[in-house]
Amino acid sequence: MYKMRRINALLLGTLILGLSACKMYQTVPYFRNIPADNTAYSQGRMIPTVDYQALKIKPDDLLGITIHTLDNSTAMLSETTGRSQNVPGTAAQAGNGFLVSAAGTVELPLLGTLQVSGSTTEQVKALVQAKAAAYYKDPVVSVRLMNFKVTVLGEVGRPGTYFVNGEKATLLDALGLAGDLTIYGNRQNVLLLRDSGGKQKSVRFNLNDGQALTSPYLYLQQNDVVYIEPRKAKAAANNAARTQTIAIVGSVISVLIVALTRFR
C-alpha cells in the first residue's frame, strides 16, 4: 500500500512538472500567433508590419557632413582637388562630426548656420548641397547620423550600449546586438524608454504576439533604452539555488559537529 502511494505521488509530480514545462515554453518563442503552414514554408507569408519612418535629427545629435568635389577653379579647394574632404571644424564640432546645438542648428564654415533639427539626413543633404553649389562645382554631399546608439539592459546575453550602423533598426536588431534574451527574460513585457521633448516615454512590447510588429515604436530612435525584466522563474531558480547551498552548508556543519563530538 505504501509503495503504491509513493508511485502515485511520483506520477503526480512528474505530471505537474510536465505541465509547468509546457506552460513555460509557451512564453519563450517570439510571435507564436503567426501561423505556419505549407504555403508559409514554401512561399513565405506576408504579415502586417509598421511602415518605416526616417529618423529626425534632434538637438545634441552628431552629424557627419562630407563634401566631395573635383573643382579646381577655387584656390581654397585646390589642395583637396579630387579627394573627399570633411568640412573644416568649428567650435560647434565635436569629435569627427558636427554637434547639433540646443537650438537645432549646425554651423558650417563658408556655408553658415543651418537649421537641421526635425529634418532627416536626406533633407539636410539637399540643404547642404544647395548651399555648397554657390562655392563648389557639382558638389556631392553625404550626411550621416553618427550617434545612433541604443542601450539594452536586463536579461540579455550582453547588456550594454551599442552603436547602430545606418539609420534603420528595429527592437529585434537591438536585441540581436545584445545577444538576445536569456531564458529568464520576460518576452511578454519588454520595456522601451524614449526621450520625447525632454521627457521619458515608456512603451511595452509583448514579443510572444505578432502584433508587436505593427507597433509605431518598433523602429528605434537615437538614445532609446530597452529593458528586459526577469521572469519569476529566475527568482525561483535563485531561491532554489540558495536553499540548496544552505542545505549543503548545513549538512557539512552537521558532519563536522558529529566528527568533533566523536573525537572528544
Residues 77, 74: Cα–Cα separation, whole Å: 6
Domain ranges for the chain, please list them.
62-145, 148-233
- Rg value, the chain, Cα: 29
CA dist., res. 37 & res. 154, Å (int)? 35
Q: Which residues of 42-71 are buried (b: 16+ CB within 10 A; e: fewer)?
A: eeeeeeeeeeeeebebbebbbbbbebebeb
Query: Which pLDDT value is given to residue 86?
Result: 36
Buried b (16+ CB within 10 A) or exposed e, 130-139: ebbeeebeeb
Return the CATH fold of 148-233: Outer membrane lipoprotein wza fold like (3.10.560)
Q: What single letter denotes the amino acid at residue 22?
A: C
pLDDT at 222: 94
Look at residue 204 in the predicted model and tell me its pLDDT: 96
Q: Which helix (H) or strand (E) holds 142?
A: strand 140-145
Per-residue confidence (pLDDT) for residue 89, from 0 to 100: 32
CA distance 236 to 46: 40
* Pairing mode, strands 185-196 and 149-154: unpaired
65, 87 Cβ separation under 8 angstroms: yes
Q: Regarding the domain delimited by 62-145, which CATH topology (the fold level of the hierarchy) does it fall under?
A: wza like fold (3.30.1950)
Q: What is the 3-state secondary structure (H, E, C) of 197-217?
A: CCEEEEEEECCCCHHHHHCCC
- Please tell me the predicted confidence (pLDDT) of residue 177: 95
Is the overall model pTM greater than 0.75, yes or no?
no
pLDDT at 228: 96
User: Splitting the chain (264 residues) into consecutive groups of 10 residues, what average pLDDT does each group show?
Assistant: 47 45 58 72 77 94 87 38 34 63 92 94 95 87 92 96 93 95 94 90 94 94 96 57 56 59 59
Residue 48 CA: distances (Å) to CA of 35, 192, 209, 215: 13, 21, 12, 10
Q: Which residues contact 184 (CB under 8 A, 6 or more apart)?
A: 155, 230, 231, 233, 234, 237
Spatial CA neighbour of 192 closest among 178, 177, 179, 202: 202
Q: Which pLDDT belongs to residue 244?
A: 62
